[in-house]
Every structure is written in structure tokens, then in C-alpha cells.
């Protein structure tokens, strides 16, 4: 059994690799930082292949599928966010974010899903965020929009597979704050205490293997997702703005 993980050099992706290796999966680990991938490989006991690449580049995604077509689990974990008012944020950062958070996930999900459906087996886990379950995110508008896209797409594909009685399963992970390097890249600090990436990694992999469609680690984040469904959009947007503003470094 083999799993391919993007964004595997740190945080949740790294800890998913460690957990999957501990339960017997060979791995293909993908990220831009080769030194961190090498360090991770040396920590793992199963067979590990390294792919040092930037998945925001479309051709890299296609080459990845061509080279590693026979996998049992795909985890689209690569992604990042940026903090700031939309009028002030850098357009190049935003386009790169869209290419990483959406385009790469779109390509890898579609190409691997075709292969998995032909074999009628396999799991895909797309890593989104609690942001994807909320109506918007002032001060991180592009990031929230990318994660909403991933949530909507993944749930829709899941229903298509369910209607066809396919053995292939696709899940979306929607965590709240997690203690990873995301905070530094996004230039934010969380007011809520983050879950450990080790916990989120194990929880999400276990739920994915059971075929859970939407995976939300942590009781408080589950409660937030539930409450937001029944709250007026303008109130949720305002409260999100206030919480985002409190994160500002």
C-alpha cells in the first residue's frame, strides 16, 4: 500500500507521513524543501520516495501523476494563507495561493480519481480548513475563498461516488488552528489554542480510512461549524473580521 502526500515537509503533512508509515504504508512525499524531506525520510521505516517540486506549477502535477500512478491514498495537503486587507495584499502572492490551494488540488484530484475509479479502490483526502465552512473571511479573503472551493468540490465528488456505489472515497479535512508553520507564513497569531499537528494527522487519517466525508477535529471547531450554519451571514462575517483582526501580528 502506498500514499502520496503533498506539503509533506512540515506540519500536518509531515505527521500524516509519520502516521501512515507507522501503520505500514510506503510513501511518496512531495514538497519544495528537499532537506526537510530527506530528514523525514530518514525518520520513517517504510519505503519512501522523495519528489522535490512546487505543485503550484501545473506541469509538475501532471508529471507527478505520470511517475507515481499506482497509489492507494492521495493527500492534497500543500497550501498556505496570507493576512491583510484585500486592497493591500500582493496580487502575485494571491495568484500563487490560488495555484497551490486550488489548481494543484484540482489537477491531482481529477487525475488520480480517474485512476482510482478504474481500479475501484483508493482514498483521497483534501486538506481545507474551518475557513471553508464559513461564509467568508475578511482580512484573509482569498485564503477563505480557496478553502471554500475545496470543501464544495470535495463534497460534490463524494456524492457522485456514493451514487455510483464506488469503493473510492474522498474526504475533506477542515481543522481549526493547528500548531504548524502556517501561522508564520500567513503572518497571524491565533487567539484559540491550536491542536497538535500529530493529533490532527492521526485523527484525519483514521477518519479518511473509514470513509468520513467531512472531517473536523476538535469539539470547539465542530461547534463553531454547526453554529455558523444557523447564524446570519452578516453577523458571521463581522465576527470573523473581529477574530481575524485579533490575530494580527
Which amino acids are annotated catalytic? 143
- Proportion of the chain in helix, strand, coil states, percent, rounded to 5: 55, 15, 35
C-alpha cell belonging to residue 34: 528537499
| Of the candidates 8, 4, 23, the residue with the CA atom closest to the CA atom of residue 115 | 4
89 three-state secondary structure: coil
C-alpha cell belonging to residue 201: 494527522
The 3-state secondary structure of 32-86 reads CCHHHHHHHHHHCCCCEEEEECCCCCHHHHHHHHHHCCCCCEEEECCCCCCCCCC
By the 10 Å C-beta count (0-12 exposed, 13-18 middle, 19+ buried), 175 is classed as buried
Amino acid at each position: 500500500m502506498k500514499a502520496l502526500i503533498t506539503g509533506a515537509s512540515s506540519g500536518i503533512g509531515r505527521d500524516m507521513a509519520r502516521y501512515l508509515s507507522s501503520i505500514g504504508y510506503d510513501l511518496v512525499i512531495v514538497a519544495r524543501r528537499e532537506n526537510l524531506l530527506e530528514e523525514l525520510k530518514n525518520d520513517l521505516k517504510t519505503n519512501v520516495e522523495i519528489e522535490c517540486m512546487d505543485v503550484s506549477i501545473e506541469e509538475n502535477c501532471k508529471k507527478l501523476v505520470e511517475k507515481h500512478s499506482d497509489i492507494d491514498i492521495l493527500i492534497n495537503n500543500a497550501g498556505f494563507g496570507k493576512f491583510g486587507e484585500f486592497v493591500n495584499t500582493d496580487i502575485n502572492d494571491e495568484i500563487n495561493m490560488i495555484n497551490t490551494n486550488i489548481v494543484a488540488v484540482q489537477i491531482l484530484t481529477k487525475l488520480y480519481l480517474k485512476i482510482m475509479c478504474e481500479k475501484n479502490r483508493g482514498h483521497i483526502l483534501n486538506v481545507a480548513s474551518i475557513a471553508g465552512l464559513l461564509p467568508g473571511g475578511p482580512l484573509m479573503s482569498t485564503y477563505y475563498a480557496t478553502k471554500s472551493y475545496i470543501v464544495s468540490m470535495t463534497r460534490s465528488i463524494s456524492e457522485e461516488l456514493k451514487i455510483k456505489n464506488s469503493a473510492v472515497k474522498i474526504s475533506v479535512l477542515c481543522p481549526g488552528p493547528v500548531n504548524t508553520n502556517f501561522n508564520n507564513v500567513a503572518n497571524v497569531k491565533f487567539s484559540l489554542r491550536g491542536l497538535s499537528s500529530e493529533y490532527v494527522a492521526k485523527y484525519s487519517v483514521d477518519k479518511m480510512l473509514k470513509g468520513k466525508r467531512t472531517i473536523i477535529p476538535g469539539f470547539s471547531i465542530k461547534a463553531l461549524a454547526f453554529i455558523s450554519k444557523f447564524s446570519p451571514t452578516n453577523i458571521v462575517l463581522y465576527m470573523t473580521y473581529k477574530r481575524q483582526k485579533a490575530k494580527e501580528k
